[in-house]
């Protein structure tokens, strides 16, 4: 019996297609503010071959998130809205077309279209935001650094000094 977890993780190894822009030469179009930006990136991912022959929805979701992360590596996917438009086949690769609607300092807006052959399998919209490590609000209180919540003065959990 094959190891399904290993196969599923292998499906997350997306390859950027040669039809999409390479790292040095990007396909661009003018933005409304005069800047130029990259518009489309295409990734190919394998399908996990399951006994029933259909594409596993969890694999498709994971590949969509991975494609968004590859397209905007400085940002993290925190929310995702997906419409599964058509059933997918387990014997065909999935092509993920990532279109940047907006990419700024604080967030990006991406549309990811998952296709197999001529069918759109799913369409996803995600707003990735910057990847930063979460800092608890009690780490800097009243001008001093505290290492645990117990060192924080009572009533100052929001970072404001106690009255």
pLDDT on residue 25: 47
Asked if 139 and 93 count as a contact pair (C-beta separation under 8 A), the reply is no
pLDDT tens, the chain, 163 aa long: 468 778 778 778 899 987 544 554 444 455 555 454 557 889 999 888 888 878 888 899 999 999 998 888 888 888 899 999 988 888 899 999 999 888 877 778 899 999 998 899 999 998 877 766 555 554 555 566 655 545 545 554 444 444 4
- Helix, strand, coil percentages in the chain from 3-state DSSP, rounded to 5: 15, 35, 50
Structure tokens, 155: 């009533």
Sheet strands (E) in the chain: 15-16, 28-30, 36-38, 40-45, 75-76, 81-84, 94-103, 108-116, 119-126, 129-130, 140-141, 144-145
Helix (H, G, I), strand (E, B) or coil at 19: coil
Compute φ and ψ for 44, nearest 5 degrees.
-115, 135
């Amino acid at each position: 019996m094959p190891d399904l977890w290993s196969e599923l993780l292998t499906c997350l190894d997306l390859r950027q297609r040669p039809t999409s822009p390479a790292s040095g030469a990007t396909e661009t179009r003018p933005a409304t503010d005069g800047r130029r930006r990259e518009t489309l990136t295409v990734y190919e991912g394998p399908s996990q071959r399951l006994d029933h022959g259909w594409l596993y929805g969890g694999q498709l979701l994971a590949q969509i998130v991975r494609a968004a992360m590859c397209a905007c590596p400085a940002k993290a996917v925190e929310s995702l809205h997906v419409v599964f438009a058509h059933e997918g086949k387990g014997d065909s690769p999935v092509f993920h077309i990532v279109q940047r609607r907006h990419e700024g300092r604080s967030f990006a807006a991406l549309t990811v279209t998952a296709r197999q052959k001529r069918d759109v399998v799913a369409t996803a919209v995600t707003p990735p935001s910057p990847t930063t490590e979460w800092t608890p609000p009690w780490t800097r209180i009243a001008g001093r650094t505290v290492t645990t919540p117990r060192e924080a003065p009572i009533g100052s959990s929001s970072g404001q000094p106690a009255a």
